[in-house]
Each structure stands twice: as C-alpha cells, then as structure tokens.
Structure 1
Amino acid sequence: MGGWTIGVIGGSGLYEIDGLGDAEPVTVETPWGAPSDTLVRGTIGDVTLVFLPRHGKGHRLTPTDVPYRANIDALKRLGCSDVLSISACGSLKEQYAPGDFVMVDQFIDRTFARNKTFFGPGMVAHVSMAEPVCSRLSGLAGDAAASIGAAVHRGGTYLAMEGPQFSSRAESHLYRQWGCDVIGMTNMPEAKLAREAELPYATIAMVTDYDCWRDDSEAVSVSNVLEVIKNNTDKAKKTLLALVENLQGTTRTPSPQGIETCLDFAMITAPTARDPALLAKLDAVAGRVL
C-alpha cells in the first residue's frame, strides 16, 4: 500500500513536534468548517507526518468545541494513511500511575454535545466500533513508547466525558465500577469519525493524575497536573521519533481490522434517496465508495 503518512493529533501540552524535515504549514478548508489550527506537514526519513494540535496553539478550544469532523476530514484530505492520537487522561486504576502511557483499545462514550458522524439524513451509514483501535498501529506506538523508557500499559478502556469540568467523586467511583481504566475528554467522537473516514486510529493516553476517586488524595486540578503534562509531552515527542525510526524502510500494509474498507458494507441509503449536498461534503471521507 505504499508508504506511511501518519496524522498526529496532539493533546494538552503537545502543540508541536520536533525533527520534521521540510516542514510546511498547511491550511485546509473542509465542508465541516476549519480544523483546530493550521496543520504542519513534514518528513522524517521516508515517513510523512501531518501534525494538528487538537486544542489549537495556546490551547484555545475546549474539548466540546474541538472541530472533530473538520480535523479528521483535513487529515484525510492531506493523504494520511493512519491517525495517532496523543491525549492527557486521568487514571481510574491504582496501577496506572501519573506519567504512565496507556495504549487504549476500548472506549465508552459519555459525551453528549458533539457532532459524532459525517453521515446523516440523505446518506445513512453504520460502521462497526467493536474494535475501535487499530491493533497494528497501537502495537507499534506502544513498542516505541517502551523503547524510550515509558511505563506502557497495553490495552485499557477510556471513558470519554463531556467536560470541561472534571468528574464528581461519585462519577469517578461509578466509572471504576464499570471497569474503566482511564478518563478523558477528547477521544470521542474522534475515534468514531476516524473509523467513518476509513483511517486506522490509535491513541496514547498519557496519565496525569488519579482523577478524584482516591479519598486520601487531593482532587484533580489544572495546577497539580501541569508538571506531569510537561514530562509526558517530552516523552510523547521522543515516542514519535522512535516510532518513525522503527518505520523506516518498512512497507505499510492494511490494518488487520480491515479499517481501510469498512465503508464497503456500511452504506444503507438507497442511491435514489441520497442527498447530493451531503454526498458532496463526503468527497474526502467517503469518496472511495461514493
């Protein structure tokens, strides 16, 4: 399938990446509005990276206000073959300590104020989210993180909350009872939209705190996680460089989950009932099948 073009979505603290050759800012217009910020495209060896700060430079956007559809559409338009999300999160398990990296493989979506699909009236599609993460990309990213000395947990369930407020203590205990491992505000609907765009998606959830379920600990606040975020960001940048180094000279193969062709059997609206205006907006996301 040719080479790797990896879209990197940087979360809290990660507003740029290092080491890009021929780096160029790219402004992308999408039918879903403007992305969070100008994208930066560059290369390291034979791997192309396209970087987008999820909250915009200076952290301008709340988790609810992030233009998730525009972000994924822009990465697709720029030819990304895969998307790696890097996000801050809170821990819901004792063994997931601040500073640890969790290679999330499942999600529970508790967000409620966001547009969660590219499709809609006039073009209905249903994609599977049973396996929401590309196991190949997640494994490669986890290997890279481990190689730079990060404490890596392979697998975990991410509870996506609306925010921007942190959890109540009752909510934190409830999510622990559900078996969730980490909690964050941004990986949904991002992962769902990536799947609709047939983009293999993986996420590195970087633990900053223990949320608020530990009765003997101080409740989470911005001030007491900033230093952890800084350290995590340094490790995330090193992880990206290690990942790209490991990919040098390799040929990209399809995701084992068949993500690149997941729309083949997802479209349900009859051709005669499809809305031409919506089809036009789907030119990048679903152009392969439409």
Structure 2
Amino acid sequence: MARTVVGIIGGSGVYDIEGLVNKRWQRVESPFGEPSDELLFGDLGDQPMVFLPRHGRGHRIPPTDINFRANIDALKRAGVTDVISVSAVGSLREHLSPGMFVIVDQFIDRTFARNKSFFGRGCVAHVSMARPVCRRLGDHIEAAAREAGISAVRGGTYLVMEGPQFSSHAESEMYRSWNCDVIGMTNMPEAKLAREAELCYATVAMVTDYDCWHPNHDDVTVDQIVTVLLANADKARGLVRALAPHLHADEHAASCSCRSALEHAIITAPEARDPALLQSLDAVAGRLIK
C-alpha cells in the first residue's frame, strides 16, 4: 500500500502539536517560485506530516501575494498525498457561530489577481472542480472532530474573496443571497491547484466572526479575529491529533479518484507540448508527461 503523507496548510499555531516528533524545517525549491516558507516535517504517531505556514511564519504574506502554485508544488515534491487546509473564515449564517468549524464541500471563487493553474500555453489541461474537495478526507475529518469533541458542521459553501480588505455590508448580503455559508481569502486557487496536482484536498474552516452582515454584532476587526483564532488553536491541534490515525489506517487512500484527476485532463498533443513548461510540471504531472 502506498504511504499516505499528510500536508497541513494553515497558521503557525496549528504546528505546535504535542506528540509531533522528528521535527525539521526544510527548504523545498519549486520552479514556480518561492513557497510561503520552509516546510516542517515530522511524525505524529505513525503518520508522516508536513506543515506549511500559508502566510509564512510571523504572518508576513497577504492573501493576494501568496504563491499558491509554489506552495502546492513544494508539498507535492515533499511527498505529500493528502492536504488539509485549516483556514480562518467569517460566517454568513446565524447557526455558524464564532468558534465553530465547517468542513467545506463547495467554493465560489471571486479572486482575480492570482495564478490559478500550473498549466497554460504549451500544455493545456482542464480538471473537474464539480466536487472540489475530497469526500474521503471529509469523512475522516468529521469523525476526528467528533472524537475530539469539536463542534463541526459537515458541508458548506466557502466564498473566496480577493481581499485584503473585509467585505462591505452590501457584499456580505449579496454573498448570503448566493447561499454561501462562510467567507475567506485563501482557499482559492489553492483547491484548484491541489486538484491539478492530484492531491486529495479538504478544508477545515474555522469561524472567527459574523463578517459584517449580522445586526447584533459589531463590524469585524482584526482584534476580534485574532482573539477567536487563539481560542481555536487548541481545537485545531486536537483535530489534527485525532485525524492522524484515521488517515494512517485508511486502506482506500491510494485508490482515491483525486489521485488520478489529470488522467484525461491534458488535451495538448504530446508533440505540441512546450518542453520548458513540461520540465516545470515534473512533480505536478510527472506520472503522465514523462
């Protein structure tokens, strides 16, 4: 059975996990530029783990400037097979109160200033994003949250905005009218790139606030978000601890459909493909283009 290696993308508080051993920070080079930071390798029980600070240690990088392509490529080169995104979000629904976790199953991408594909001129590919997260991972996260005593809702639509500013009241109400459940700035194009890289991907959205639509709550401020983020840190670490043995014991991981997402996606004829682009795709699509 192929080994599962779990990649966690999120804030630095998630990485300070009791029981994580053999820890080492390592730089991973990518042809797509600089990842957000070095990768932290370690083992949680029998499960190999790789952690990536999405904004860099110290939260140095704003959402628009994150090199999502380099981040996903670096995780793939590090041997990661399954990616868990741990992300702070605002709630667009009364029942999703600050402190709750949402296991997202859909996205609406409203970003506009980011590189959204590894492919392009010289090698064109179209992957399906109809079901943008891995259901198998979602099942494991749901079970782990229950074991850890974490209040988590299965299913929800994540509206990804460009940022870095928060929503206007009119925007917040518009997104609510679209039946969106949470709002954030980081999971696109991350999820799209993970699909192109044939990585299983799931999002744990940690609710920090009610955005600005709620009539009985003040408009969101950074101080409020940080306060709830700190309170959520223990829960996020507990979730990862509970999740590790589930993923390690999963005998069906290697046959997950996410891991063959490119099978019929590359449409450029082999003789017309750009050799330079193919060279940069050696990790993302190596099993198909070599």
Answer yes or no: is the 8 Å Cα contact 2:20–2:45 preserved in 1. no
Q: Deviations over 1:104-159 (max 9, x none)?
A: 00000000000000000000000000000000111101221222121110000000
CA shift, 1:216, in A, is: 3.0
Name the residue aligned to 2:76: 76
Name the residue aligned to 1:113: 113
Identity of aligned residues (%): 60
Change (3 A) 1:255 1:225: farther
Quote the Cα distance in structure 2 between the aligned partners of 1:220 and 1:187: 20
CA shift, 1:252, in A, is: 4.8
Name the residue aligned to 2:271: 272
Quote the Cα distance in structure 2 between the aligned partners of 1:116 and 1:29: 19
Name the residue aligned to 1:233: 233
Answer yes or no: is the 8 Å Cα contact 1:167–1:212 preserved in 2. yes
Answer yes or no: is the 8 Å Cα contact 1:20–1:44 preserved in 2. yes
Which region of structure 1 is more displaced relative to structure 2, 265-274 or 183-192?
A: 265-274
CA shift, 1:179, in A, is: 0.2
Quote the Cα distance in structure 2 between the aligned partners of 1:247 and 1:130: 24
Name the residue aligned to 1:62: 62
* Aligned AA (1:169): H
Answer yes or no: is the 8 Å Cα contact 1:3–1:252 preserved in 2. no
Q: TM-score, normalised by structure 1?
A: 0.96
Answering whether residue 6 of structure 2 is matched by residue 24 of structure 1, we say no
Q: Secondary structure at the match of 2:58?
A: coil
Answer yes or no: is the 8 Å Cα contact 1:39–1:50 preserved in 2. yes
Aligned length: 289
Q: Secondary structure at the match of 2:89?
A: strand
Change (3 A) 1:171 1:38: same
Which region of structure 1 is more displaced relative to structure 2, 122-131 or 271-280?
A: 271-280
Q: Secondary structure at the match of 1:288?
A: helix
Quote the Cα distance in structure 1 between the aligned partners of 2:180 and 2:274: 39
Answer yes or no: is the 8 Å Cα contact 1:12–1:229 preserved in 2. no
Which region of structure 1 is more displaced relative to structure 2, 270-279 or 118-127?
A: 270-279
Q: Secondary structure at the match of 2:276?
A: helix
Q: Deviations over 1:243-269 (max 9, x none)?
A: 11334544352365x111111100111
Q: Which runs of 5+ in 2 are unaligned?
A: none
Change (3 A) 1:82 1:269: same
Answer yes or no: is the 8 Å Cα contact 2:124–2:267 preserved in 1. yes
Change (3 A) 1:20 1:46: same
Which region of structure 1 is more displaced relative to structure 2, 96-105 or 221-230?
A: 221-230
Which region of structure 1 is more displaced relative to structure 2, 205-214 or 244-253?
A: 244-253
Quote the Cα distance in structure 2 between the aligned partners of 1:49 and 1:269: 35
In terms of fraction of residues, the more helix-rich structure is 2
Q: Which runs of 5+ in 1 are unaligned?
A: none
RMSD of aligned C-alpha atoms? 1.4
Change (3 A) 1:87 1:125: same
Answer yes or no: is the 8 Å Cα contact 1:108–1:158 preserved in 2. yes
Q: Secondary structure at the match of 1:173?
A: helix
* Aligned AA (1:285): V
Name the residue aligned to 1:167: 167
Q: TM-score, normalised by structure 2?
A: 0.96
Answering whether residue 276 of structure 2 is matched by residue 282 of structure 1, we say no
* Aligned AA (1:283): D
